[in-house]
Amino acid sequence: MSARDVLPGQVLEVGRRAFRTYGMATAGVRPDPDFLLIGAKRGGSTSLYYALLDHPRIIPLFPAAGLLPKANHTKGVHFFDSNYTRGMRWYRSHLPSRVTRSRAARRAGGSVVVGEGSPYYLHHPLAARRAYENVPNARILLILRDPVERTFSHYRERVRGGAETLSFEEALDAEPQRTRGEEARLVTDPGYYSYAHEHQSYVAQSEYAVGLRRWLDHFPAERFHVVTSEEFYSDQQRVCDSVATFLGLPPAPLPAAGKVWNPAPKAELSPEVRRRLTEHFASHNADLEALLGRSFPDWAKP
């Protein structure tokens, strides 16, 4: 590897540290986020977040991509799950300042909103309480995917990253042992991080009602807006318009409607495993439907 190959990464890291130091020094003039996109992982949260950033009155986190040599804006901070011990000054260092927001509002012709998308928030046992204690006025967004498809996609993401060597069925069977006791440890040790809880909980992260109920214990129901990835990919404009309305903004045309972020190659799930997962998730989906007062007709039924 030549010095030319190393230099851009070094420069980027130095720039990140400089912006973070400045952001922390000015944390007091950086307002709370207006919304949190809390999940679900492999549910379309990245595509939804960047589609929302196409709205002229939804602005990115700090620093914006143009201020550093990176292709995309930052999506999530992962503060209320994995970085909570860094403190609120560190969290606020990722948020635009009042001056930045005012300038953006003048350009856009109306007030602007800011949010972040950290999909592990839905599953982490302490994220909801932490968020409520620190940003109690935030609105909560979720994009949920057919749990069978999400589970399989989560597994395949780990395989593509070289982090999973088991077959899908083996990974499903190993999950209870891999994650045993991890949630309890996360609750009792605020500084603990669990790789297994975040990355090997293929089935558990698709049991949406469990995580959502924790958030509903802290935030009022009217503060939530839930869409599905099936709805989103069927009509991105309509879904983004519904989110804009929820955030108190007028609809705006999407210049990049139809773009899919983090797509994965298609793969076939065996009928036996699909049946196993569909039956497992049936009661969880019914619980979710009762919790939200809506159905999910696009999801697999036993």
pLDDT number for residue 261? 56
Rounded CA separation 292/297 (Å): 14
Nearest residue to 40 via CA among 272, 265, 299: 299
- Three-state SS at 127: helix
Mean pLDDT of 72-80: 94
Other CB atoms within a 10 A radius of the CB of residue 7 amount to 10
Length of the chain: 302
pLDDT number for residue 4? 42
Query: Could you read off the pLDDT of 9-59 as tens digits, one per residue?
Result: 676 677 788 889 999 999 999 999 999 999 999 999 999 999 999 999 999
Query: Could you read off the pLDDT of 206-265 as tens digits, one per residue?
Result: 999 999 999 999 999 999 999 999 999 999 999 999 999 999 999 999 886 566 656 666
In sequence order, what are the beta bridge partners of 36?
116, 140
- Three-state SS at 82: coil
**Pair 131, 238: CB distance under 8 Å:** no
pLDDT number for residue 72? 85
Tell me whether strands 58-59 and 139-144 are parallel, antiparallel or unpaired. unpaired
pLDDT number for residue 268? 86
- Which residue is it, tokens 């260092």? 93
Mean pLDDT of 133-153: 97
- Which residue is it, tokens 């404009």? 237
* Peptide linkage before 220 cis (omega within 30 of 0): no
Quickly list H helices, the chain: 3-25, 45-52, 88-92, 98-108, 127-134, 147-160, 168-179, 182-188, 195-199, 208-216, 229-234, 236-246, 271-292
CATH fold, domain 28-258+272-292, is Rossmann fold (3.40.50)
Rounded CA separation 214/229 (Å): 22
Threshold 0.85, pTM exceeds = yes
Nearest residue to 119 via CA among 36, 195, 202: 36
Mean pLDDT of 103-132: 98
Q: What six digits make up the tokens of 274?
A: 């699909």
List the chain domain ranges.
Answer: 28-258+272-292
Query: Could you read off the pLDDT of 160-200 as tens digits, one per residue?
Result: 999 999 999 999 999 999 999 999 999 999 899 999 999 99
pLDDT number for residue 8? 61
pLDDT confidence tier of residue 119, bands split at 50, 70 and 90? very high
